[in-house]
Amino acid sequence: MRFFCKSVSVSMVEEGTGRALQYRWFIFWIFSLQFLLLFFHRICPAVLAPELVKAFNISGVGLGVLSSAYFYPYAFMQIPIGILSDSWGVRKTATLFGLIATLGVMLFAFSHTIGFATFSRVLLGLGASATFVCGMKVFTEWFKKVEYARISGLFISVGSVGWLIGTTPLAMLSQKFDWREIFIIIGLLMIALTLLTWLLVVDNPEKKGIHNMQEQKVIPLSKRKLIDDIQLVFREKYFWPLAIWFFFRVAILFSFFGLWAGPYLMDTYKLSKIETGNILLMVPLAIIVGSPFLGYLSDKMLGSRKQVIVGSSVVHSLCWVILLVFHGSLSIPALYLLFFITGAASSAPGSVGFTATKELFSANIAGISMGAVNSFSFLGGILFQPAIGYVLDKAGRVQGVYPSSAYKLAFWIFFIMSLMSLLGALLSKETISRDKR
């Protein structure tokens, strides 16, 4: 009888685990598709730059401020979002902020002044700030620890499809449709996904009567002190090298590839918008392929977070050396290849970095720790998108375009930033214990 009861109990656990394995993918795809759309909003100004400059009559600094307006609230809200996801819950937090993001998109579509457009981008960034952290938080509940780097890599990979859509496809769409119409359609898709978040997302398996995936029991925030959790994150000395790594790496990603790479290719190489979009397409393709691969490399092949982080940072710096040495003289095939490699080295290891950050702390503060490090990523975008615009404006336009020398100065800045990112990588800690390698 005891054997029979034990067998029934094991069967029930296995059945519950099986249901979890199915249901968790609904949650994964809801957040991934939202991340896809919000990723599109981060980088679409690179392709739509001519339309936005004309619509709002703005300079390079003005375009940088408009684009970076997305990042101000995004960076500021990462720690609060982490706190909300840990305490109030992922479902409620993601739904509320999804509605705010949708409102920002719709208002941007109907903006006719630079002030209102900037406000709309701020609202969009505020709403978008919840998707990534809430997704990464809920995945800690629904996926096992040994799966996390691969799942977060796949999450970033799917989100990067939004970047891909923001290159050549957007360039082609902008020739057939007004950019305002494009944003209205995207806003309608965001409303649908926000509704699905409210209806289908469950914060953890136990709330659905399914066996918990977590190896470690999470203590509710109501039984802990919030200030202690925040202090625990910022007092961890190995948190700061990762914060530095994220800050400079993502600053380059968004200030160059997310904004100024498009004008650079059109001004220096005299490429058309479609040709520019095709080359920019290499960056999201690199992220889509590279993120899950590096997650697998870290989890299974190397059994190391630090080796992936350091190795990718070395490659990243070498890419900027090539861009400086052969500035303005690279062949078109070389540009395709270099943009692919630089995109993979600068963004694809992000999933491994977030996993390393999470592993520095207990599961109790997964949301807060990842929100904290993610805030540094977007601080880089805030500072350097308009800063590079200022560098280019100081050089001045010649016959309506920035000179090659202005972009080369910007590239020196990017190279120094890549070295700072490499320094952070070298100072980081290996977070996979020896017995799990």
pLDDT per residue as tens digits for the range 332-360: 999 999 999 998 898 888 889 988 888 88
Locate all alpha helices (DSSP H) within 201-331, ordered by sequence. 226-235, 239-252, 261-268, 273-280, 282-296, 306-325
From 266, 411, 241, select the one nearest 342 (Cα to Cα).
Answer: 411
Q: What pLDDT is stored for residue 126 in this prediction?
A: 94
Q: CB–CB of 104/123 below 8 Å? A: yes
**Which distant-in-sequence residues (6+ apart) come within 8 Å of 29 by Cβ?**
158
From 218, 90, 71, select the one nearest 145 (Cα to Cα).
Answer: 218
Average pLDDT of the residues in 70-90: 85
pLDDT at 5 over 50: no
More confident residue, 57 or 91: 91
Q: Which residues of 108-118 are buried (b: 16+ CB within 10 A; e: fewer)?
A: bbebeebeebb
pLDDT per residue as tens digits for the range 261-300: 988 999 999 998 788 878 988 988 888 888 888 888 887 8
Q: What pLDDT is stored for residue 207 in this prediction?
A: 73
Q: What pLDDT is stored for residue 224 in this prediction?
A: 56
Q: Which residue has the tokens 């007092």?
A: 235
* Beta carbons within 10 angstroms of residue 283's beta carbon: 28
Q: CB–CB of 65/382 below 8 Å? A: no
CATH number of this structure's domain 7-204+225-431, picked from the four choices 1.10.30.50, 1.10.260.40, 1.10.357.10, 1.20.1250.20? 1.20.1250.20
Q: What pLDDT is stored for residue 127 in this prediction?
A: 95
Locate all alpha helices (DSSP H) within 57-144, ordered by sequence. 60-68, 71-87, 90-109, 114-142
Q: How many angstroms separate the most distant Cα atoms in the chain?
A: 89
Average pLDDT, the chain: 84
Q: What pLDDT is stored for residue 14 in this prediction?
A: 46
Q: Which residue has the tokens 């949301």?
A: 367
**DSSP element (H, E) containing 214:** none
The token pair at 161 is: 């499809």
Amino acid identity at 122: V
The four Cα atoms 358, 362, 363, 367 give a dihedral, to 10 degrees, of -50
**pTM score of the predicted model:** 0.75
More confident residue, 16 or 310: 310
* Cross-strand bridge partners of residue 398: 401
**Which distant-in-sequence residues (6+ apart) come within 8 Å of 103 by Cβ?**
123, 127
**By mean pLDDT, which of 112-126, 217-231, 273-287 is the weakest?**
217-231
Q: What pLDDT is stored for residue 225 in this prediction?
A: 67
Q: What pLDDT is stored for residue 6 in this prediction?
A: 45
pLDDT at 226 over 60: yes
Q: CB–CB of 273/47 below 8 Å? A: yes
The token pair at 210 is: 């399914």
CA 188 – CA 170 distance, rounded (Å): 17
Q: What pLDDT is stored for residue 9 in this prediction?
A: 40
What does the domain layout of the chain look like in residue ranges? 7-204+225-431
More confident residue, 172 or 3: 172
Average pLDDT of the residues in 405-413: 93
Average pLDDT of the residues in 387-416: 88
The token pair at 214 is: 């977590």
The token pair at 106 is: 């719709």
pLDDT per residue as tens digits for the range 186-217: 999 999 999 999 999 988 887 776 766 655 55
CA 146 – CA 143 distance, rounded (Å): 8
Q: Which 8-state DSSP code applies to residue 398?
A: B
Q: What does the DSSP assignment read for 351-392?
A: HHHHHHHHHTS-GGGHHHHHHHHHHHHHHHHHHHHHHHHHHH
CA 292 – CA 220 distance, rounded (Å): 31
* Cross-strand bridge partners of residue 401: 398
Locate all alpha helices (DSSP H) within 166-238, ordered by sequence. 168-176, 179-200, 226-235
pLDDT at 406 over 80: yes
**Which distant-in-sequence residues (6+ apart) come within 8 Å of 222 by Cβ?**
87
* Beta carbons within 10 angstroms of residue 241's beta carbon: 19
**Which distant-in-sequence residues (6+ apart) come within 8 Å of 295 by Cβ?**
149, 150, 151, 152, 153, 154, 351, 352, 355
CA 437 – CA 434 distance, rounded (Å): 5
CA 387 – CA 369 distance, rounded (Å): 28
Q: CB–CB of 152/349 below 8 Å? A: no
Amino acid identity at 118: T
